[in-house]
């Protein structure tokens, strides 16, 4: 279905200016906002700055605060003069915001270099990809019966509904909460999917327990470091990402962030925001942001503020909410830590039952949910710039591998997985929410003109999810400022859009 949707959606993108006309950004009772702050320059914050500029026009000052590196969880590490993605790495072909960013920024797609995947259960390889697509299909069929087809149809149906968001956003519609957004795309079914375990949804669908254990669990482990008890919605996002049509950005995904900030003409402050407080003068409400730069502490006033970083305690954003009535409580839940270890060395293929590395045919190994296993996945990785003559290293040669694990690997674990190595680089991420089914979804509107982007990660954490949330918040901020209530939380949008066209 995606192929048919694409041309139509790019037409919608280019007609956006009708809705986002900057001349329309005057406040109905007065002036447009003069200053907007965005806290965080990951893909969420950078995309927010871009969309804010689109909707509010050239006059407004957009300040973006970043305490670390632009890109946030999109980052690279350098090994032997080449860069490798250490955080978010793959993008689905139907991730239309990411695609549009790459296009308007003049960036290039990085081609993928073929490589086979296998599933390891701690003792042996139990599932392997072959060269021959039909044989793989046949094997999946033989091993798991109808499960495989049912699953594919389920994921496709969810994707198809999810893609309605691009039409709604192109027509300028915004949502005041993640629940409202999901409801408009997939009704109560989508909201329910954020609350029930993936395994329950799949079993109900008729997917076999064996398929869940041997295929679904390994995909959840590599993508979210968690098991099949994670909510069905994020599970579906993750399974969509396990399909074939994937890409990445040449030079590194984080180039999208720096590119968007530049295009938005945003002022980037290398500073940690330490507190935010509401300041009332008569009817007017502004926010004071206190922040620390290398030159010392400062503060500034803003009309609109977007927080584009997780606010759960475990992420340690360091932002304090002062003088809010009622007091603003810290958000419940925590983030899951995932360690990305990039190793330059010789893989010990014996671990997987292949004493002779020359006979080891796999580029990546996923794992089943096995208690004593210390890693979630191991994969040979390609640099962010691939030259024409690039080929993957053979397993008997020294290569670059990425290992995901819940804890840092100790020396003996490294020495088990690698016969020997030249270098090891470790990135410990507060990677994505630690999903549970009872936490609910965090709010988008924290206070008038104060927005929170990362709640969407509790429905699903991915670059595109943050981009969708960024567009939504820019639209929401614009409509709230202009008191356009008919553009927020509207029901029956599919029907409305048809009649608008
Ligand atoms: C190992 C790993 C693999 C992943 N793989 C994929 C994948 O293949 N595909 C995919 O789509 N997604 C993937 N993801 C998820 C994806 O990377 C994230 O969902 C996305 O990058 C989140 O972007 P964000 O801008 O919302 O948040 P972040 O990238 O976390 O940005 C928040 C920014 O705010 C800054 N900040 C925080 N507090 C303050 C403060 N007080 N003052 C100033 N700045 C502050 C932080 O330094 C950070 O740069 C992966 C994530 C990880 C960790
Ligand atoms: C979602 O859950 C609610 C409450 O449990 C239920 O009433 C509704 O029918 C469910 N929706 C779907 C589509 O399953
Ligand atoms: C998944 O992990 C959670 C938290 O670690 C645990 O409570 C749950 O029992 C696990 N579920 C399965 C199916 O293993
Ligand atoms: C990598 O790719 C980016 C984007 O195309 C380009 O700007 C950069 O110069 C390239 N770097 C190398 C070393 O080729
Ligand atoms: C490689 O893995 C095998 C099997 O787990 C193990 O016996 C061996 O010690 C490991 N290390 C080397 C250097 O072969």
- Give residue-wise pLDDT tens across range 444-486: 999 999 999 999 999 999 999 999 999 999 999 999 999 999 9
Range name among 19-23, 245-249, 307-311, 483-487 with the lowest pLDDT average: 19-23
Nearest ligand 5 atom, CA 415: 11
Compute CA 392 distance to the chain's CA centroid, rounded to the nearest angstrom: 27
41 DSSP 8-state letter: -
189 lines ligand 4 (CB under 6 A): no
User: In terms of pLDDT, which residue wins out, 114 or 406?
Assistant: 406
Structure tokens at 124: 């042996």
Other Cβ atoms closer than 10 A to 420: 10
Q: Six-digit token pair at 179?
A: 């629940």
Nearest Cα residue to atom 8 of ligand 5? 416
Ligand showing the shortest atom-to-Cα distance for residue 416: 5
Ligand 1 center from residue 307 Cα (angstroms): 13
User: What distances in angstroms separate CA 312 from CA 48, 194, 218, 291, 398, one per listed residue?
Assistant: 20, 18, 27, 19, 40
Ligand 1 mean position to 327 CA, how many Å?
A: 27
Residue pLDDT, tens place only, 373-396: 999 999 999 999 988 888 889 999
How far, in Å, is the centroid of ligand 5 from the Cα of 34? 63
What distance in angstroms lies between residue 273's CA and the mean position of ligand 3's atoms?
36
Whole-number pLDDT of residue 244:
66
Mean pLDDT of 65-69: 98
pLDDT of residue 407: 97
**pLDDT for 123-181, tens place per residue?**
999 988 877 766 676 777 777 777 778 888 999 999 999 999 999 999 999 999 999 99
Helical (H) or strand (E) element with 499: helix 493-500
pLDDT at 457: 97
Long-range contacts: 371-375, Cβ < 8 Å, 24+? 372/122, 373/122, 374/405, 374/407, 374/409, 374/413, 375/403, 375/404, 375/405, 375/409, 375/413, 375/417
pTM, rounded to two decimals: 0.93
Mean local confidence (pLDDT), 340-361: 97
CB distance 233 to 249 below 8 Å: no
Please tell me the residue having the least CA distance from ligand 2 atom 9: 188
Q: What is the mean pLDDT of the chain?
A: 90
> In the block, which residue shows the tokens 């408009």?
184
| The pLDDT of residue 500 is above 90 | no
Percentage of the chain with pLDDT > 90? 77
Give the model's pLDDT for residue 243.
Answer: 67
pLDDT at position 23 is 35
- Judged against a pLDDT cut of 90, whether residue 501 lies above it is answered with no
DSSP secondary structure letter of residue 231 = B
Backbone φ and ψ for 318, nearest 5 degrees, come out as 80, 5
Q: Count of CB atoms within 10 A of residue 68's CB?
A: 13
pLDDT of residue 21: 36
Q: If DSSP codes are grouped into helix, strand and coil, which group holds residue 277?
A: strand
Predicted confidence at residue 4, as pLDDT, reads: 30
**Number of C-beta neighbours around residue 91 at 10 A:** 23
- The per-residue pLDDT for 429 is 98
Q: Which domains does the chain have, with CATH numbers?
A: 6-12+73-130+184-252+335-433 (3.90.660.20), 22-72+266-334+437-500 (3.50.50.60)
Rounded to whole angstroms, how far apart are CA atoms 417 and 367? 14
Q: Which atom of ligand 4 is nearest to the CA of 81?
A: 13
Ligand nearest, relative to CA of residue 336: 1
What is the structure's pLDDT at 25? 39
Say what the pLDDT of residue 5 is.
29
pLDDT at residue 113, as a whole number: 83
Residue nearest (by alpha carbon) to ligand 1 atom 44: 66
Q: Is 22 in the pocket of ligand 4 (CB under 6 A)?
A: no
Cα 154–Cα 157–Cα 159 angle in degrees, nearest 5: 110
Integer Cα distance of 323 and 447 in angstroms: 12
Residue 3's pLDDT band (cuts 50, 70, 90): very low
pLDDT value at position 141?
73
Ligand 4 binding pocket includes 105 (Cβ within 6 Å):
no
CA max distance for the chain: 77
In order, the DSSP letters of 175-190 are -SSHHHHHHHHHHHHH
């Amino acid at each position: 279905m995606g192929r048919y949707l694409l041309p139509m959606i790019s037409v919608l993108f280019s007609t956006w200016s009708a809705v986002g006309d900057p001349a329309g950004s005057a406040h109905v009772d007065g002036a447009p906002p003069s200053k907007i702050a965005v806290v965080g320059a990951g893909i969420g914050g950078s995309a927010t700055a871009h969309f804010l500029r689109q909707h509010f026009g050239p006059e407004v000052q957009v300040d973006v605060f970043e305490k670390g590196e632009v890109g946030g969880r999109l980052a690279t590490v350098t090994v032997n003069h080449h860069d490798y993605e250490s955080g978010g790495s793959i993008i689905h072909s139907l991730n239309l915001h990411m695609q549009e960013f790459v296009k308007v920024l003049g960036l290039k797609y990085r081609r993928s270099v073929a490589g086979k995947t296998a599933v390891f259960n701690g003792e042996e390889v139990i599932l392997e990809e072959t060269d021959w697509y039909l044989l793989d299909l046949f094997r999946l069929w033989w091993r798991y019966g109808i499960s495989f087809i049912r699953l594919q149809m389920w994921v496709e149906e969810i994707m198809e509904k999810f893609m309605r968001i691009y039409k709604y956003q192109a027509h300028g519609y915004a949502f005041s909460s993640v629940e409202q957004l999901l409801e408009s795309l997939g009704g109560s079914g989508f909201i329910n999917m954020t609350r029930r375990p993936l395994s329950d949804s799949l079993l109900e669908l008729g997917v076999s327990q064996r398929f869940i254990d041997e295929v679904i669990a390994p995909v959840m482990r590599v993508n979210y470091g968690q098991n099949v008890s994670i909510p069905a919605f994020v599970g579906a996002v993750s399974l969509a990402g396990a399909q074939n049509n994937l890409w990445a950005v040449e030079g590194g995904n984080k180039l999208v962030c720096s590119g968007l900030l530049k295009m938005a003409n945003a002022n980037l402050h290398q500073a940690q925001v330490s507190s935010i407080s509401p300041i009332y003068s008569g009817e007017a409400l502004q926010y004071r942001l206190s922040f620390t730069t290398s030159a010392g502490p400062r503060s500034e006033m803003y009309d609109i503020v977007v927080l584009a970083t997780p606010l759960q305690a475990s992420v340690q954003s360091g932002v304090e909410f002062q003088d809010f009535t009622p007091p603003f409580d810290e958000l419940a839940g925590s983030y899951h830590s995932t360690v990305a270890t990039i190793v330059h060395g010789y893989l010990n293929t014996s671990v997987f039952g292949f004493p002779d590395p020359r006979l080891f045919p796999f580029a990546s190994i996923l794992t089943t949910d096995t208690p004593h296993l210390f890693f979630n996945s191991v994969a040979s990785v390609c640099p962010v710039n691939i030259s024409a003559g690039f080929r993957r290293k053979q397993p008997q040669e020294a290569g670059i591998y990425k290992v995901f694990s819940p804890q840092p690997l100790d020396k003996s674990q490294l020495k088990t997985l690698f016969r020997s190595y030249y270098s090891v680089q470790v990135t410990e991420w507060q990677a994505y929410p630690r999903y549970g089914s009872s936490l609910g979804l965090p709010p988008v509107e924290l206070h008038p003109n104060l927005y929170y982007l990362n709640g969407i990660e509790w429905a699903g954490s991915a670059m595109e999810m943050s981009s969708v949330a960024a567009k939504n918040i820019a639209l929401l901020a614009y409509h709230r400022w202009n008191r356009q209530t008919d553009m927020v939380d509207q029901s029956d949008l599919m029907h409305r859009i048809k009649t608008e066209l």
